[in-house]
């Protein structure tokens, strides 16, 4: 069994700058290394799901510019170029600072990612009708996310990653089959830093499953059956960019291939641990073979 996944989301050109530490306000410091690669939460999640062995489609937008020309062959190589929409906005960009501990600070220019509108969703409705799983995050228009959640939440399994954290209506939120925040996003959504309290509140709104990723503490799944904790794989982190996206992509990819939520969490945790041992976003996402062979 390999059900179809549709990821609707962003793609960016990521410029990553590696530093010993983050600069203070007004301070200039030397960088040790710079890389330019494909990224964006949508593409990271689509690539991770694809590399997990799942059947994945990716609806995204590129500008008709040099950055778009850079990203298109990368999508083609991964087999995720069939549903690219081209527009006159500049291709999305992100600048990422990474310190010696592997922590990151990220600045994003939305650009073409904002072109994905409810009208585009209607033009591509055949994709939505064929998919069993739909993956969303907050690097596209919130109006578009709300439209998809309300239109397809009752008929499809929607996994919604509320990152970066933004306001969304309770009516749309309760349509998510899996809401997948980290602990910071959970606190912003619920007003509490207590993970269980926050998750229970979201369940009370009608969300079926709340899956909270907590970095070095692993991940927690809350639903009507109770609570499940997946322990992390402890590794030395070099770069945590795309760690959460790798987790989500492998989680939905594992569900689509027939694994239970608990087994999917274990696979996703392992894939995410591998990702943080490498530099960059898309380049750090492991293949299914790497995950199966890793002893961590």
What is the 3-class SS of 133-194, one letter each residue?
A: EEEEECCCCHHHHHHHHHHHCCCCEEEEECCCCCCCCHHHHCCCCEECCEHHHHHHHHCCCC
Residues 191-206, mean pLDDT to the nearest whole number: 96
pLDDT tier at 233 (50, 70, 90 boundaries)?
confident
Residues 237-242, mean pLDDT to the nearest whole number: 78
In a domain, 76, yes or no: yes
Residues 255-260, mean pLDDT to the nearest whole number: 97
Q: What is the pLDDT of residues 35-75, one digit of tens each?
A: 898 999 999 999 999 999 999 999 999 999 999 999 999 99
Q: Give the count of domains, the chain.
A: 1
Whole-number Cα distances in Å, 228 to 179, 223, 232? 15, 9, 13
Catalytic position from the list 69, 81, 239, 245:
245
**Which position has the token pair 């929409």?**
85
Residues 289-293, mean pLDDT to the nearest whole number: 91
Is pLDDT above 80 for 281? Answer: no
Q: What is the pLDDT of residues 103-118, one digit of tens each?
A: 889 898 999 999 999 9
Is pLDDT above 80 for 239? Answer: no
Rounded CA-CA distance 255/9 in Å is: 20
Dihedral sign for Cα 99, 114, 175, 197, please: positive
In a domain, 16, yes or no: no
Rounded CA-CA distance 145/161 in Å is: 11
In a domain, 205, yes or no: yes
CATH number of the domain encompassing residue 153? 3.40.1190.20
In a domain, 220, yes or no: yes
pLDDT tier at 151 (50, 70, 90 boundaries)?
very high
In a domain, 236, yes or no: yes
pLDDT value, residue 168: 93
Active-site annotation holds for 245: yes
pLDDT tier at 242 (50, 70, 90 boundaries)?
confident
pLDDT tier at 8 (50, 70, 90 boundaries)?
very high
In a domain, 35, yes or no: no
Average pLDDT value over all residues in the chain? 94
In a domain, 51, yes or no: yes
Is pLDDT above 90 for 216? Answer: no
pTM: 0.93
pLDDT value, residue 295: 78
Non-local CB neighbours of 103 within 8 Å, separated by 6+ positions: 240
Tell which residue, 271, 49, 283, has the closest CA to residue 159.
49
Say if residues 97 and 24 touch (Cβ distance below 8 Å).
Answer: no
pLDDT value, residue 106: 87
Domain of 203? 4-11+41-89+111-293
pLDDT value, residue 197: 97
Is pLDDT above 80 for 134? Answer: yes
Residues 177-203, mean pLDDT to the nearest whole number: 96
Say if residues 193 and 205 touch (Cβ distance below 8 Å).
Answer: no
Is pLDDT above 80 for 280? Answer: no
Is pLDDT above 90 for 240? Answer: no
Is pLDDT above 80 for 20? Answer: yes
pLDDT value, residue 248: 98
In a domain, 104, yes or no: no
């Amino acid at each position: 069994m390999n059900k179809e996944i549709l990821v609707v989301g962003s793609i960016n050109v990521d410029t990553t700058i590696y530093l010993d530490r983050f600069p203070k306000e007004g301070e200039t410091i030397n960088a040790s290394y710079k890389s330019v690669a494909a990224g964006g939460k949508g593409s990271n999640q689509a690539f991770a799901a694809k590399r997990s062995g799942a059947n994945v489609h990716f609806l995204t937008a590129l500008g008709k510019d040099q950055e778009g020309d850079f990203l298109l062959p990368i999508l083609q190589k991964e087999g995720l170029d069939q549903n690219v929409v081209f527009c006159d906005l500049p291709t999305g960009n992100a600048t990422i600072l990474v310190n010696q501990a592997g922590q990151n600070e990220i600045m994003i220019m939305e650009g073409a990612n904002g072109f994905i509108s409810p009208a585009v969703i209607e033009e591509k409705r055949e994709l939505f009708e064929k998919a069993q799983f739909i993956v969303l995050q907050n690097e596209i228009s919130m109006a578009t996310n709300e439209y998809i959640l309300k239109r397809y939440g009752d008929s499809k399994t929607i996994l919604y990653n509320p990152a970066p954290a933004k306001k969304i209506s309770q009516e749309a939120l309760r349509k998510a089959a899996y809401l997948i925040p980290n602990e910071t996003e959970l606190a912003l959504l619920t007003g509490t830093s207590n993970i269980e309290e926050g998750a229970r509140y979201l369940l009370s709104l009608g969300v079926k499953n709340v899956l909270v990723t907590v970095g070095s503490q692993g991940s927690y799944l809350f639903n009507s059956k109770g609570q499940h904790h997946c322990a992390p794989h402890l590794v030395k982190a070099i770069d945590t960019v795309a760690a959460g996206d790798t987790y989500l992509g492998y989680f939905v990819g594992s569900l689509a291939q027939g694994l239970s939520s608990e087994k999917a969490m274990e696979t996703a945790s392992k894939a995410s641990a591998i990702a943080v041992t490498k530099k960059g976003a898309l380049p750090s996402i492991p293949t299914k073979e790497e995950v199966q062979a890793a002893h961590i």
